Chains A and B, each alone.
Chain A
Amino acid sequence: MLSTQHSEEDDQYMFVARLDNVRNVSTILKAIHFKDTATVFASPMGLKITVEDAKCVQANAFIQEAIFHHYVIKEEQLAFKINLTVLLECLTIFGGSSMPSANTSLKMCYAGYGCPLILMLEEDGVLTDCSIKTLEPDDVLDFDFCSSNVINKIIMKSECLKEVFSELDVTSDILQILMSPDQPYLQFSTFGNAGSTHSSFPKDSEMVESFQCSQTQTSRYKINLLKPSVKALALSTRISIRTDDRGFLSLQYMIQTEDGQICFVEYYCSPDEEVGDNEES
């Protein structure tokens, strides 16, 4: 446990949060770490950290306030931009090349606009203080993904997809996803130098928990944009795959922290090109 500090000291901050196992935060952040910069949104519900690339892909990590054993925020929303690479180095400062130990506790403090993010970590009586500069938050993309426009939705166990995604043919520029009420139901395809690869999952597979497909839809996404989502997939137990009427993709990952709590990471991606329903896959 961190040596106790007077709560008067905390009064200067707009936001103070503490947790006993820093891994509960560092692991989730690693799942969206594909760019150096992230925007952090803090609200009474918890933290949302957003990373974007090429105006085509967005990843969000949700760390709800219940993950922390102490969470106090004086505003409805605080937002700042921060270097995610530096933030992760600080969160894993005690960990060497692997993970910090479960004995590392964390306290995060933020005093408001223009102030740095303060981290205090402790392991085995050794204290580390970090002060990370924050920047003006950029506007984040609104993918305008709402349930009413969702055409196809599949929820499945992450297990079976892990192999597919970790073996994606990187010589293929795109990943094609087909979802359909008819065969092959769910199919991932790549088109690389050595040829095309197709991985299919029948809707009655025991891996599939929920299958709601109204229309056959084939969409293509730049593989480079989706590759980082493999990290989130690797940590997750369940995944929800949704596409809407524009072919936009939403991947939602349910991740269980070491202490058994649930966190979510989602990836949104815009399609590379529209493909007609009847195109050969």
Chain B
Amino acid sequence: MRITEDKVFFILSERVNDGGAQIWCELPQSHFFDEYAMEGVSAESNEIYLEVAPDLLVRSLKTAQSAKWVKVKLTKKNFPCLTIEVDLPSGSVHQRLVVHDIPVSVVARKHWPDFTEPEMPRFDVSIALPQLRLLKNVVDKMKNLSNYVAVSANNSGEMKVSVETDMVSISTHFQNLFNPSWNKDDSQTQPSMSEDRDPQQFATSRVDIRRFAQFLNSQQVNPDRIICNVVHHRMLHFFLLHDDVSLQYFLPVVSR
């Protein structure tokens, strides 16, 4: 978790050679908090990096579903903690204060470079994912049959997800999808879609199916659009923007 003056980031980095994913999520603090005060390591490096177990954080926040207010503080008990204070209604008159102390470790400045934003890859094809319902169902079924899934897309609005084992090969084909065009001005992107790329030609990446299914199933908010950038035989990069939150999910290929 990276805390800056304007934003809160959730950064996750798994081992890439295991087919592990990277997640980069940005939340503008002003969108979520009424009050926000932070003091970083120093004036020049006005940031805080914390290592925290996501499931503990999720569980604490779950108790805050019907809260009047929630406070998040970085405190020091016997060890550094992210303290979540939740003010819950209890009966018609009383209030109930629930406090969670989640142990965190503060990440030293020398390790901060490990957590820089992964570069937007030079992708071969950029395409918007189809409606999640069918895609989710298909991938969940394929997960029962194989550990890997090949995701392919082209610039003609077509996308395929396929699995292949000794026993069976299955390929699901989506059409009429949107291919976004990226300009030179879009953040760190270099324009990578060569104009003479054959629009019918597919770019493919074969990734860990469980992680792909997890990503699809974790979408609770139904964003308007999830963009999938395919770097042929290197990785899938998913990008979604919803309600001011931006999420990037990098899924590298798995070698056979």
- A: residues with CB less than 8 A from B are 83, 86, 89-90, 92-97, 123-133
Contacts and interface: CB of A to CB of B under 8 A. Distances in A.
Interface of B: 130, 134, 136-138, 140-142, 144-145, 166-176
A128 B144 contact: no
A126 B173 contact: yes
A92 B167 CA distance: 17
B124 to A, nearest CB: 23
A94 B141 CA distance: 8
A238 to B, nearest CB: 33
Nearest to A122: B173
Contact of A125 (B136, B166, B170, B176): B176
Contact of A131 (B137, B144, B145, B168): B168
B175 A125 contact: yes
A128 B173 contact: yes
B167 A89 contact: no
Contacts of A92: 141
Question: What are the nearest 5 A-B pairs in CB distance?
Answer: A96-B137, A128-B172, A127-B173, A130-B170, A132-B168
A130 B146 CA distance: 14
23 contacts: A86-B145, A89-B141, A89-B144, A89-B145, A90-B170, A93-B142, A94-B134, A94-B137, A95-B141, A96-B141, A97-B140, A125-B175, A126-B174, A127-B173, A128-B170, A128-B171, A130-B169, A130-B170, A130-B171, A131-B170, A132-B167, A132-B168, A133-B166
A95 B177 CA distance: 21
Contacts of B134: 94, 123-124, 126
Contacts of A95: 137, 141
A99 to B, nearest CB: 11
Given A93-B137, A96-B136, 18 more contacts: A92-B141, A93-B170, A93-B172, A94-B138, A95-B141, A96-B137, A126-B130, A126-B134, A126-B173, A126-B174, A127-B173, A128-B172, A129-B173, A130-B169, A130-B170, A130-B171, A133-B166, A133-B167
B174 to A, nearest CB: 6
A6 to B, nearest CB: 19
A235 B86 CA distance: 50
B163 to A, nearest CB: 10
Contacts of B138: 93-94, 128
Contact of B168 (A86, A97, A123): A86
A89 B172 CA distance: 13
A86 B130 contact: no
**In this complex, which of B138, B144, B170 has the most chain A Cβ atoms within 10 angstroms of its Cβ?**
B170
